[in-house]
Structure 1
Amino acid sequence: MTPEGADEALVAAARRGQAEAFSRLVERHQQALRAFLRRTGGDWALADDLAQETFVVAWSRLDQLKSGASVRAWLCGIGYRKHLSALRSGRRDRAREAAYEAERAHVSARFEDERLTLEAALGELAPDQRACVALCLAGDFSHAEAAEALGLPLGTVKSHVTRGRARLLQVLEDRDGHG
């Protein structure tokens, strides 16, 4: 029996639901399909993934294979369309990633500027006031916890936090030109 005749018999059996016949088709053509996809795309891992996807699609579309058509050519056609789809998807992913990185760099630069401005403003506060602000605003301490940690009266901690917050907000507003 010719290879094409063997393929036709296996396709007919697979169409009748014989999974073993389709497994034989996979065995017969997977090397050629993988080699084609590897040469086409240059990425061996992706080629192997696309070959697997190709066989999944082929199994579900066996009824679309025309009588007498080359199984290998049909599989390579499905694989090539999968390859083109992966290329388009990769371009979209790279474009999305580039846009994300550009935005992240912009946001990071803005936050870095604000961080430096805040650090400078914190440096202008008296040491006790700076410690209260650092614990209560940045460290999520309650006023009572900050008072205990710093050994200061609760009222003093509250006033230091209130005045320190007001000073930091003023510095940020002045920096942004709103003040």
Structure 2
Amino acid sequence: MASLPETPTDAELITRVLLRDDRRAFGELVARHQTAVRGLLRRLTGGDLAQADDLAQETFLRAYRGLRGYRGGAKFSSWLYRIACNVFFSRDRGSRDALPEPPALEAGSAGLALPDLVLERHDLEKALALLKPRERAALVLTYANELTHEEAAVVLDCPVGTLKTHVARAKEKLRRQLEEVP
């Protein structure tokens, strides 16, 4: 009985792309990670699917062009999240006055379940709109994408202490905002 071929690891696919310019291998990496990258960007852009798709496309283009820069020290998905956040922040720099709408939290999705805050969806969306983009990113990465503080700090290219500060400030802002909700 013939055995099924093993699914190649991310590292094996990356090697094929780098050594043979294997675009199918890169396509498999995209297929493997696009849902998570688009989900992150959708939350950061306030549920704007078109903008999230545009940013995801830019993320994967940058990843392809910069694949030689991936050192393997972090998970490939974390490296992609870092590119996605940089793409989002660079877009956001052009529109600092206009904060993006709050992330849309869909039923059944991995929303932002903050353990010490019991939140109504609508109230949470309004409160998230008041967060700075890096605070929102810190919350999304640690709660919705379930990264450790260390992983999220790598993604956001900041010290772990700074990441923890972003998370703590964001949670406190959410708490204050939600206390005002009747």
Give TM-score, length-normalised by structure 2. Answer: 0.47
Give TM-score, length-normalised by structure 1. Answer: 0.47
Comparing both structures, which one devotes a greater share of its residues to helix?
1
